[in-house]
A and B are shown apart, each in its own frame.
Chain A
Amino acid sequence: MNLWQARLVNQAIRLRLARRKLAPEARGNLMALEGKDGKAPAMDQRYVVVDLETTGLDHTKDRVVSVGAFRVVGGRIRLGEVFSELANPGRGIPVESIKVHGITPDNIRNARPAWEVFREFLLYLGGDIVVAHHARFDLFFLNRVMRAQYGMRMQNLVVDTVLMCRAIHIEPDPYGQKKGAKRCSLDVLAARYGLEVPERHTALGDALATAMILQRLLPDMAAGGWKTLADLISVAGVL
């Protein structure tokens, strides 16, 4: 994928929704690509590193229970601009997932519904580039709420740290054997970079781990020749 494609898709959606009455957060989201300069250094961009905890891994029926995010600007994680919310999935939480993220039905009883949390998140996100580990997973859930709520996909650029990792650390895999897949898991990367990840397997903890990994991957990418935003999107962008 590249920035040009993203712009094209964005233009099309804007045309399609031009007449429709949109909530301000959605109107804002349509502008997410404004001012993005493909030639600017990837390091200098504004990113929002996000992680979702869900009721399970089946995206046909599972729901979001928690959203955690950190903003990274110029390679620095802003500890004061944290997004951390529980969402009420409107259904039971399977025991297996409780074991992973530790969020119990009691915890979310008073939480707001996912769409409300998501509206909040969109306002927090602005036009920043979304970063996630295995971004397609998180993107799927985000877009499902987005479509249901506003009738459009999320317009922000999305970057996957797994793809960044593969580009740098894994030899090309033309036959799709995925031999190196495990070498880009969050735990392996955290260990590789010697990161002690606080609160792993909470949305915020994993988002922080991913943000810290992004901090390392950006200079590594630059060293490997992928210096600009366009370079980054071409390697690790997700649509």
Chain B
Amino acid sequence: MGEFPLPRIKDFLKTVVPFDALEDEELERVVGLMELAYFPRGQVIIQAGESPSKNLYVIMNGSVRVTLPRETGEELLVDVRGEGDTFGSLSLLQGELALFTVQAQEDLLSFMLPDAPFRELVEGNPVFRRHFSFGLSRNIEAVRRAADRHTMQMTGTESLGLDAALTGSRVSELMSKEVLTCLPATPVKAAARLMTQRRVGSIIITEPGGAPLGILTDTDLRVRVLAAGASAETSVAEVMSPFVKTIAPNAFAFEAMIEMARHGVHHLAVVDGPRLVGVISDHDLTMVTGSSPVGVMKEVSKVSKLEDLAAMPRRMKRVMETLLRLGGSAEYMQDVLGEFNDRLILRLLKITQRTMEHQGKGRAPVQFSWLALGGAGRREQALTMSQDYAVVYANVPPEREAAVRSWFLEFTTGISQGLEACGFFCRPGAVMTDPHACCRSESQWEEAFMAWVSSAEPEALTQVMGYFDLRAVYAETAFVETLWEKLFAAFDQHRGFLGRLGLAASQLRPPVGFLREFVVDTEGQYSDELNLDEAALDPVVQAARIMALDQRLRQTNTLERLGAVTRLGLLKEDFSEDLREAYGFVTLLRIARILENNNGHRPSALLDPASLNRVQRKMLKESFSVISRLQDFALQRYSGESGA
């Protein structure tokens, strides 16, 4: 026949990952093995719990809803897939009953590649293998998003992947099989003795027939018995945590993880029919996935050597990956990271002081506070870790100034090196790029701040806006509190400051949307990369900052600032909620992207718009529009004041 008869179909598949990786001839062969099917809207294509999919589906047109049926009868929306997306690979490759229900959301045209040739491709082609094993983690990622409280949050963590252990493992492989059990009427004292003898941290309470009722852990004993002052004769039934969920031994480990995250429990009873066969805990899961936030946090506070400290951020990244999968909200993840960074700084201050002492340079000559500014001050650094810190030392008489200053200069240099070792970089514009600028006495800092408030032009203010997010990580002095009071007084005096700040803040505008693989900015310019910081987060940060300063609030965290100004009536409740969601969505996307991009030195929040799926684009576009509205509001309110 000569020419391939279906060039347009071939062209279409060339745009579909991973089919784009096939050579022309191979792709033509694969097209010949496919069928094109039509499913009217509403038709169920794959039914959860039924036999595995017999085909890989590639959507040509239309969209499907992927849902997870719940015992309660309702459905949990897991994902929406559209043109160029695939589905059906999970149950096909696992050969297990389908986990998700797939239903046509619009009239759907889909290519179908049968079981056998699809398997051949996956086995024979590394690109296919990689893509479809990540497909599994994508599904889990989707569940995580769906489990989030309000909206689906699409974070696009495709290449984040999931530990092989977790994707392949089943509950039966990870659970504890040696389970200590007792009856509901057992007194707490007896149960505690049993646990001590067997050296286990928990005991399962079962019915006489063996069906599991609940679990009693060390923590329960401490919290519900000892701390609550309950009698040692109390029956275990009264203080146990009842099992809200059980899970089958052949369930995937990630399903256990999802259930725990969703129900906020740490243990699940593993049952085979009515019979208890084991217990699986979040600890069992974190053993295979990496680490828990609490563990890493505790450890960082115990570290005494710089080398050990420098190893911590890498572990924190693993924690973040796990959190991302488990459905941590942006707020929670930033809290965890903020707390982690603070603890790391505190350790570093200790370690550096001790080193200087050992070197015979003595202790700090005067009291000082260690300041966090910019993203660090707002506790929003996430994983970008820029050296946005500064030191402020108590005022000293002029004759001592030189000596004191030289000690603190050395101190900050030492810390800067330590931060560098821990992966905090002195990127351009970071506060600590210039050790002289970040090492000042109280009156010097005060002078600098007052100069910015009284007369800095918007241009200059763009460079120092982040200083108004200051916060003391370590405080021997009350400098920060006093400074805020003086600043607020100065705002009253220099009414134009907020206006100038407003002008400085208006330089960044979120893009208006996407066109194919490009992002389109307000001027209609196309770009093939999207900087999430500049495009979406900074505008919110800046607007929140102006409003908070205007209301004389000392909060520095953006979400806290927004919350506070909303309570003061500056923003409408529902708009504030939209903002919170938009900000949370972009933040999650950013964290995911940084985790992905982070191969080496410069974690970046740059995003290739082509890597976003339709739903992500839609969510981003909506986020941009909410953020633009906030910006308009802030601009309108504050830029007018500049003349006053």
Contact = CB atoms under 8 A, between A and B. Distances in A.
Given A85-B1, A194-B61, A212-B36, A79 B109 contact: no
B38 A80 contact: no
Nearest to B35: A76
B294 interface: no
A80 B32 contact: yes
17 contacts: A77-B35, A78-B35, A79-B31, A79-B32, A79-B36, A80-B31, A80-B32, A82-B6, A85-B1, A196-B61, A199-B8, A208-B6, A212-B36, A212-B38, A212-B109, A215-B38, A216-B107
A127 interface: no
B61 A79 contact: no
A204 interface: yes
Contacts of B9: 79, 198
Given A75-B38, A79-B9, A212-B38, A194 B107 contact: yes
A85 B36 CA distance: 21
Interface string A188-219: 00000111101100001000100110011001
B112 interface: yes
A77 B9 CA distance: 13
Interface string B19-40: 0000000000001111111101
B5 interface: yes
A82 B35 CA distance: 11
Given A194-B61, A212-B109, A204 B35 contact: no
Interface in B479-502: none
Contacts, number: 55
A82 B61 CA distance: 21
Nearest to B36: A77
A204 B2 CA distance: 14
Contacts of A78: 35
Nearest to A197: B8
Contact of B38 (A79, A82, A85, A216): A216
B395 to A, nearest CB: 74
Contacts of A75: 37-38
Contact of B5 (A82, A212, A215): A82
Interface in B17-73: 31-38, 40, 61
Interface in B107-126: 107, 109, 111-112
A10 interface: no
A199 B9 CA distance: 11
B398 to A, nearest CB: 79
Nearest to B38: A215
Interface of A: 75-80, 82, 84-85, 193-196, 198-199, 204, 208, 211-212, 215-216, 219
A193 B60 CA distance: 14
A78 to B, nearest CB: 5
Given A79-B34, A85-B1, A211-B36, 14 more contacts: A76-B37, A79-B6, A79-B35, A79-B36, A79-B111, A80-B32, A80-B33, A194-B61, A195-B61, A198-B9, A204-B5, A212-B109, A216-B40, A216-B107
A80 B6 CA distance: 10
B133 to A, nearest CB: 27
A178 to B, nearest CB: 28
Nearest to A82: B5
A78 B5 CA distance: 13
Nearest to B1: A84
A198 B8 contact: yes
Given A198-B9, A212-B109, A76 B1 contact: no
A136 to B, nearest CB: 26
A216 B41 CA distance: 11
A202 B624 CA distance: 44
Given A199-B8, A212-B109, A80 B1 contact: no
Nearest to B55: A76
Nearest to A80: B32
Contacts of B7: 198-199
Contacts of B35: 76-79
A85 B5 CA distance: 10
Contacts of B8: 198-199
Q: Which of A80, A84, A196, A211 gathers the greatest number of chain B CB atoms within 10 Å?
A: A80
Interface string B72-95: 000000000000000000000000
B40 A76 contact: no
A84 B40 contact: no
Nearest to A85: B1
A193 B107 contact: yes
A219 B40 contact: yes
B321 to A, nearest CB: 40
Contacts of B112: 76
Contacts of A79: 6, 9, 31-36, 111
Contacts of B32: 79-80
A212 B6 CA distance: 14
Contacts of B37: 75-77, 215
Interface string B348-375: 0000000000000000000000000000
Contacts of B61: 194-196
B344 to A, nearest CB: 55
B104 to A, nearest CB: 12
A56 B456 CA distance: 80
A29 B5 CA distance: 26
B223 to A, nearest CB: 59
What 7 A-B pairs come out closest when comparing CB atoms?
A198-B8, A80-B32, A215-B38, A77-B36, A76-B35, A84-B5, A76-B37
Contacts of A196: 61
B30 to A, nearest CB: 9
A67 to B, nearest CB: 12
A98 B112 CA distance: 35
A215 B108 CA distance: 11
A19 to B, nearest CB: 38
Contacts of A77: 35-37
A160 to B, nearest CB: 19
A193 B6 CA distance: 21
A71 B146 CA distance: 40
A84 B3 CA distance: 10
Contacts of A199: 7-8
A211 B36 CA distance: 10
Nearest to B8: A198
Contacts of B38: 75, 212, 215-216, 219
A194 B83 CA distance: 14
Contacts of A198: 6-9
B10 to A, nearest CB: 10
A212 B9 CA distance: 14
Contacts of B107: 193-194, 216
Given A194-B107, A196-B61, A212-B109, A76 B5 contact: no
A77 B38 CA distance: 9
Contacts of B33: 79-80
A97 B40 CA distance: 36
